Amino acid sequence: MFLKFILALIPIIWLIVAMSILKMPGFKACFIAFVITFILAAAAWHLSIINTATAALEGICNALWPIIIVILAALFVYNLTLKTGAMEKIKAMLAGVSTDKRILMLLIAFGFGNFMEGMAGFGTAVAIPAGILVGLGFDPILSIVSCLIINSTPTAFGSVGVPTNTMANITGFDAVAISGNVAKIQLVVSFLLPFIAVIVIGQGVKALKGLIPMILIADISFLVPQYIVANVIGPDLANIIGAIICMICIIIAAIKLPRKKIPEFEVESSGNGLKGLTLNEALVAWSPFILIFVFLLLTSTIVPFIHDPLASINSKISFYAGENPATLTFYWINTPGVLIILAGIIGGLIQGAGFGEIIGIFCTTVKNNVKTIITICSVLAVAKIMGYSGMISDIANVLVAVAGDKFPLISPLIGTIGGFVTGSGTSTTALFGQLQVETANQIGANPIWLAAANLMGAGIGKMICPQSIAIGTAACNLSGVESKILGKTAVYTVLFAVIGGIVCFVLQ
């Protein structure tokens, strides 16, 4: 049993070594992990070549639709708003709200950052807010650290819910049930995020002075809607709706609440902000995101007369040639990727982009993300092969033998390791989602709860993963400071992993 445990860990150990020590690009490391897993499954677990190949095919197809189509769609919309200049207007609107750097950080890094995580994910929630903050005169390192901290737990609902929906696809559990548990298990850590971010950006607890009401407004106005949406609608809109309400509340509070100016926390106004910008221009700038929100809401389960007919347009396919194959359902219209692309095209036309230009931006987006496509396809293929061959079960058996019913204490930590290695909530879900479920079943724990713990851990691990830090430094034109950022962020990673483990164990 121990020998098989070690052999089954080889693909995971390889990823840790390749990406953390050898600094190998993710797409290369993950493809080699796929090759290693294929060989191990056939040689050591005696899974036939045809069964191993069809297991891999199932993973690749599951990656392409609906996961990769969502990622490409979200990045396409972001790139389109850059091209049309709409993103610059959005930045100006956000930066013109206040001269208090702490309030600006809450609005830009917490409110808008969580909005970008919900809409696009994949580094945009760190790169864009950090870039705006630095442009306003904020310390670059502290800006990146605060954005990395804030971008932790929202990862589970990022890219229109891709990580949580991936967990649902892999485990067969209901996506709404998983997202509800994720919102619950993350609540303590999520509540702490804006407080810690303010302390970081203000270089000490002194930064909380006079700002507690504003932080609570930002915190509660995001978490309450996120929690409700996650439990009622599902993961797709949890971050998006929470962030929209949060930004509105922060803006209103910044205008209405009395505030004593503290010189060390004041920044110069970034420019015109809302001055000279008409309501029509503002709506045009935000139009792709408004349309995404409307389309996703109208096609969700809360509007059944639209959702049900569109959801009926699907194909059910089984790829695996062995026993007990999974059946994948491909929704061809009522899937976030298609709806986001449609919203992007309409929004681009509203913003004055030509149809040919829009198609060109989409093609460029696909071309620029080929490595991401290879990475995710490889990881999903690894996950499916490990599941069908029995490799996941062999890892779970040893974990149960060692940790027993105390396993929930380390359940989030496993996700944290995955987030650190892969830099992706989706990839971490693919690697460890089924492992968490099988372990839960063996110790009599709630498998959906441990699946949620894995999703929380993945976001925590992303805080210190090399990819996330590199995205932040690139956005702020920094180099050679990665170790400083890692050192400042690591302490919070450990803190959140410990809190997550305690919550997971106590509330299981």
SS (H, E, C) 18-61: HHHHCCCCHHHHHHHHHHHHHHHHHHCCCCCHHHHHHHHHHHHH
CA distances in angstroms from 305 to 136, 299, 314, 316, 381, listed in the order given = 47, 9, 17, 22, 36
Residue 272 in this model has a pLDDT that exceeds 70: no
- State how far the Cα of 186 lies from the Cα of 488, in Å rounded to an integer: 22
Closest by alpha carbon to 227, among 185, 196, 194? 185
pLDDT (0 to 100) of residue 262: 83
Residue 271 belongs to a domain? no
Residue 142 belongs to a domain? yes
pLDDT (0 to 100) of residue 355: 94
The pLDDT tens digits of the residues spanning 108-161 come to 999 999 998 998 776 778 888 888 888 788 899 999 999 999 999 999 998 889
- State how far the Cα of 121 lies from the Cα of 113, in Å rounded to an integer: 9
- Give residue 174's domain range: 2-265+276-506
354 CB-contact burial (10 Å; exposed 0-12 / middle 13-18 / buried 19+):
exposed
Q: Which residues contact 135 (CB under 8 A, 6 or more apart)?
A: 91, 95, 270
Mean pLDDT computed over 182-190: 97
CA distances in angstroms from 445 to 3, 218, 385, 439, listed in the order given = 26, 34, 25, 8
The pLDDT tens digits of the residues spanning 401-422 come to 898 999 999 999 999 988 887 7
Mean pLDDT computed over 179-199: 97
Residue 343 belongs to a domain? yes
Position 328: which residue type?
L
The pLDDT tens digits of the residues spanning 4-45 come to 999 999 998 898 888 778 888 878 988 999 999 999 999 999
Q: What domain count does the chain have?
A: 1
Closest by alpha carbon to 405, among 377, 434, 439? 439
Residue 270 belongs to a domain? no
Q: Which of 238-247, 381-390, 414-423 has the lowest mean pLDDT?
A: 414-423
**CA–centroid distance for 373 within its chain:** 16
CB atoms within 10 A of CB 13: 13
pLDDT (0 to 100) of residue 273: 52
Residue 296 belongs to a domain? yes
Residue 227 in this model has a pLDDT that exceeds 90: yes
Would you say how long the chain is, in residues? 508
pLDDT (0 to 100) of residue 226: 97
pLDDT (0 to 100) of residue 247: 94
Residue 274 in this model has a pLDDT that exceeds 60: no
The pLDDT tens digits of the residues spanning 287-343 come to 998 998 889 889 887 888 998 999 999 999 999 999 989 888 899 998 888 998 999
Mean pLDDT of the chain: 90
Region class of 87: left (phi > 0), else alpha (psi between -120 and 50), else beta: alpha
The pLDDT tens digits of the residues spanning 371-384 come to 888 988 998 899 88
